[in-house]
Amino acid sequence: MTKKPIILGVESSCDETAVAVLQDGENGNAKILSNIVSSQFEVHKEFGGVVPELAARSHLEKIDLITKKALNESKIKISDIDAIAVTAGPGLIVCLSVGLNFAKGLASSINKPLIVVNHLEGHALSPKINSKLEYPYLLLLISGGHTQYLSVEGLGQYKRLGTTIDDALGEAYDKTAKLLGIDFPGGPKIEKLSEKGDPNKFKLPKPIINKGGCNLSFAGLKTAILRITKNIKNEQEKFDLAASFQKTIEEILYEKTKIAFGEYLKKNNDRNFVIAGGVAANKGIRNILNKLSKEYDFKTIFPELSLCSDNAAMIAMVGIEKYKLKLFDKLDFKPNPRWALDKDAKFLKGAGVKL
Ligand code: KG4
Ligand code: ZN
């Protein structure tokens, strides 16, 4: 029997230094042999967002060690790795450069192919690691830097149906958290606080809810929350604001996803709906999108919770699919900080990176 390909993935696009080793599996999924993620929360905590120079320095300091750890844990010898897959964009250029240069060095030293990966494609394929999922499918990508509805037609084939016109959803969570005096990244903490609050206490705006198709907007929420926080009197009101924010986000996603379903079905018959990216870990969002999908006869597919936020397993997963098609890259490939999944889609948003 021929050996199934084994890919080492490297991720360093923002504030996680991550390396994983995956082996191609049955049914188009993969076996995780190791998956190491080192987050830089402590480095950026006091700044309320990611500081690019500090992030790059931390990647440089850790990437060797994380790779050794990932190889040790996988029990795979470096000579048994078939290719090195690495994130080459989008993200912070100083951070991308660290991972990409490291991967180039590793690939050439073991004389194996280099495969560059779009970080967003990593999120898009993350549920494939553990579940059977065939193309095409509808994707809602919700992370710290991106919020998009995409029709995923095949590997590297994306059609954007809608996008945020200002802040990404993770960014909206993080900014709200900051206004409530909560450390970065605030998303998971807002979710926790919201469980103790009254979701009907504060009425928040739902920008462009009745226009713009399935495009989204979250910047107006921040302004409203800033105004309310100035008059907050006690802890309970903080919880109420977190709960009202969480409920408003759920309502926005409910309405916009309905529109996205309609857009998607204009050209497709299947009804698979993937929700991926860091914010896909949010239980309230998972519940509301499960409910809506049932009503519209869609099947929801989420990545494992540990694979929602940035990791290198998802990068190696794309690596496996590209490896099987012999889609290899040259060693002079440059990082691409604004690498869009749908290159024909109109540019509607800012820098496309976290905070
Ligand atoms: O995918 P990710 O790890 O990084 C990017 O590629 O951006 O997403 C990080 C974002 C952060 O904004 C974080 O606050 C948010 O995901 N996040 C959450 C939750 N867990 C992470 N937001 C809401 N609820 C959560 N449970
Ligand atoms: Zn990400």
Q: Which helix (H) or strand (E) is 304 found in, with range?
A: none
Q: Which two tokens stand for residue 7?
A: 């890919």
> CATH number for the 6-129+307-324 domain, one of 3.40.50.720, 3.30.420.40, 2.60.40.10, 3.40.50.620?
3.30.420.40
DSSP reduced 3-state for 272: strand
- Extract the runs of DSSP E, i.e. beta strands, from 130-171: 137-142, 147-154, 157-163
Candidates 18, 104, 2; CA nearest to 55 is 18
* Ligand 1 touching residue 185 (CB < 6 A): yes
Identify whether 205 is preceded by a cis peptide bond (ω within 30 of 0). Answer: no
**What's the first-to-final CA gap in the chain, in angstroms?**
48
Q: Which two tokens stand for residue 148?
A: 């998009």
Task: Summarize the confidence of residues 168-183 as an average pLDDT.
Answer: 93
* Ligand 1 touching residue 310 (CB < 6 A): yes
pLDDT in tens, 13-32: 998 999 999 999 988 999 99
The C-alpha atoms of residue 125 and residue 6 are separated, in whole angstroms, by 17
The C-alpha atoms of residue 339 and residue 352 are separated, in whole angstroms, by 9
* Ligand 1 touching residue 282 (CB < 6 A): yes
**Which superfamily does CATH assign the domain made up of 137-302 to?**
ATPase, nucleotide binding domain (3.30.420.40)
327-333 contacts at long range (C-beta below 8 A, 24 or more positions apart): 327/115, 328/83, 328/113, 328/114, 328/115, 329/113, 329/114, 329/115, 329/116, 330/114, 331/104, 331/107, 331/108, 331/114, 333/88, 333/100, 333/104, 333/114, 333/116
Which bound ligand lies closest to the C-alpha atom of 354? Answer: 1
pLDDT in tens, 43-78: 777 776 788 889 999 999 999 999 999 999 999 999
pLDDT of residue 353: 38
User: Global pTM?
Assistant: 0.95
The C-alpha atoms of residue 59 and residue 11 are separated, in whole angstroms, by 10
Q: How confident is residue 1, by pLDDT bands cut at 50, 70 and 90?
A: low
Ligand 1 atom closest to the Cα of residue 308 is: 1
Task: Summarize the confidence of residues 184-189 as an average pLDDT.
Answer: 89
Distance of CA 155 to the CA centre of its chain: 17
Candidates 336, 277, 276, 320; CA nearest to 20 is 320
| 169 CA to centre of ligand 2 in angstroms | 12
pLDDT of 2 above 60: yes
| 25 CA to centre of ligand 2 in angstroms | 24
Q: How confident is residue 296, by pLDDT bands cut at 50, 70 and 90?
A: very high
What is each CA distance from 146 to 7, 163, 187, 209, 352, in whole angstroms? 26, 8, 14, 18, 6
Strands 30-39 and 16-24: antiparallel
Ligand 1 atom closest to the Cα of residue 144 is: 7
Q: Mutation test of ligand 1: which of 279, 288, 289 has the most ligand atoms closer than 8 Å to its C-beta?
A: 279
* Ligand 1 touching residue 44 (CB < 6 A): no
Q: How confident is residue 187, by pLDDT bands cut at 50, 70 and 90?
A: very high
* Contact call for residues 150 and 299 (beta carbons, < 8 A): no
| 13 CA to centre of ligand 1 in angstroms | 14
| 40 CA to centre of ligand 1 in angstroms | 14
Candidates 36, 322, 37, 289; CA nearest to 141 is 289
Q: Which residues contact 123 (CB under 8 A, 6 or more apart)?
A: 141, 143, 276, 277, 303, 314
Phi, psi of 3, rounded to the nearest 5 degrees: -70, 135
Query: What sign does the CA torsion over 189, 194, 196, 202 have?
Result: positive
The C-alpha atoms of residue 30 and residue 128 are separated, in whole angstroms, by 8
User: Is the fold of 6-129+307-324 the same as that of 137-302?
Assistant: yes
* Ligand 1 touching residue 90 (CB < 6 A): no
The C-alpha atoms of residue 167 and residue 350 are separated, in whole angstroms, by 8
* Least confident segment among 33-47, 60-74, 115-129, 278-292: 33-47
* Ligand 1 touching residue 194 (CB < 6 A): no
Task: Summarize the confidence of residues 35-50 as an average pLDDT.
Answer: 82
Angle at 102 between CA 98 and CA 108, to 5 degrees: 150
| 168 CA to centre of ligand 2 in angstroms | 12
pLDDT of 192 above 50: yes
* Contact call for residues 56 and 307 (beta carbons, < 8 A): no
Domain ranges of the chain: 6-129+307-324, 137-302
Which bound ligand lies closest to the C-alpha atom of 146? Answer: 1
pLDDT of 349 above 90: no
